[in-house]
Structure 1
Amino acid sequence: MGTLYDILGQLSVVLLFIALIIGIVKFGVFTKNEKWYIYYIIFIAFIESNSYIFIPLFGIKSNIFLYPVYIAGEFFTVTGIFIKKLNLSKKSFIVTGLLSLFFLTADRILAQHQYNNDYSKAISNIIMISLISYSLIQDIKNVKTKSPFQLNDKMFFLYFTVSIFMFLIQNQLIFLSKDQFATVWVINNLLVCIVYALLIKTFLQLKK
């Protein structure tokens, strides 16, 4: 199982950068609202680049400092997708921007209350899931204007729902053996691969 975990982890990175390249090449095909899917991919690619390239290159021993950056950036770009899709007020971006800043700094501000970034991850995922589910309900109501990204949105919903539980129990997972840890965490890697693969499929199908 450890081998499968590693393979899926590496495959997810490959799929991510394929999605990034296709998204940039076809950037002009996307509508103004759909471009937020590209912004999401660009941000995740930035995080992965730092984790796998720049941090090892500069000999930095830990990438834990990227965790709150990842939570905040993922939250802002994903909520941005659905704020635009639902045509919500621009004030919504102010709210999500402030929440993103909170997630970025909460572990330090609330350190005395034993707050850690896993709580931020869970809270951000709950908010994203709520927004995604509302968007999906609206898609069902408006069958005449079906979004080409509807399947992607459903996969986002599944991925972030599962991620809540994965990140909440990850402190307990460290006490498992490597194979046991991989058996649980392989689910996350598989879902990530599906998310990126579906985005690639949708990007390729988009036409002017």
Structure 2
Amino acid sequence: MQDFFDITVNLARILGAVAFVIGIIRFKRLTKAEKWYVFYLFVVFCIEYISYALDWFSKDGNNTFLYPFYIAGEFFTITGVFIKKLNLNRSYFILTGVISLFFLSADQFLSSDLYKNDYSKGISNLVIISLAGYTLLQEIKKGIAKDRFSAVDKMIFLYFTVSIFIFIFQHQLMEFPIAYFTAFWSVNNILCCLFYSLFIKTFLTLKK
């Protein structure tokens, strides 16, 4: 099971990098809202490969300090997608920026006994799910022509919904044999692979 977990982790990293590179190549074909998908992939790409480099070169391999950066960057860029798609006022970017800074620095002013990054991740996911769901409902309600990234938005809704449950139960799973923990996280890795694959497919099918 550990081997399968390692394979899915590395595959997700590779697919994420490929999606980011193709997104950069197709960047000029994207609308202002769609460009935020590439910004999201950029954040993930940087965090993943900085983490990988630390694992490779650092003796202790401690990369937990990157987690708040991942949560904040992920939150700001994905909410940016839906703020643009919903044509919301620019002041919403200020709001999501402030919330992102909170995710980034919450452990600096909250007791470590009370604060868990998982709470930030849970709140972040709930907001993202709400925005994604509302955007999809608006498309159906208004009869808007199919959005080019509609499939990606649906996957965002699914992926972040499942992620909430994974982060809720991960601490309980640590009390079980490691095989249970790795199997649980392998589900997340497989969803990541599907998520990035959908990005790749969408970017490749874009027309000028």
* TM-score between the two structures when normalised by the length of structure 2: 0.95
Native 8 Å contact 1:40 1:78 kept in 2 = yes
The Cα shift of 1:180 comes to 1.3
* 2:190 counterpart residue number: 190
Matches within 5 A, 1:79-158: 79-111=79-111, 114-158=114-158
**Aligned alpha-carbon RMSD (Å):** 1.4
Between stretches 12-21 and 163-172, larger displacement belongs to: 163-172
Q: Deviations over 1:74-116 (max 9, x none)?
A: 0000100100111110000000000000111112211166111
Write the distance in 1 (CA, Å) between the matches of 2:34 and 2:196: 15
Structure 1 pair 112–39 and aligned structure 2 pair: CA distance change class (3 A): closer
Write the distance in 1 (CA, Å) between the matches of 2:178 and 2:60: 24
Matches within 5 A, 1:1-208: 1-54=1-54, 56-57=56-57, 59=59, 61-111=61-111, 114-208=114-208
Structure 1 pair 172–199 and aligned structure 2 pair: CA distance change class (3 A): same
Q: Deviations over 1:126-145 (max 9, x none)?
A: 11111110001011123342
The Cα shift of 1:175 comes to 2.0
Write the distance in 2 (CA, Å) between the matches of 1:180 and 1:14: 25
Native 8 Å contact 2:54 2:63 kept in 1 = no
Secondary structure at the counterpart of residue 147 of structure 1: coil
Identity %: 51
Structure 1 pair 71–27 and aligned structure 2 pair: CA distance change class (3 A): same
Structure 1 pair 142–60 and aligned structure 2 pair: CA distance change class (3 A): farther
Aligned residues: 208
Structure 1 pair 148–169 and aligned structure 2 pair: CA distance change class (3 A): same
The Cα shift of 1:60 comes to 5.6
Native 8 Å contact 2:152 2:198 kept in 1 = yes
Native 8 Å contact 1:106 1:116 kept in 2 = no
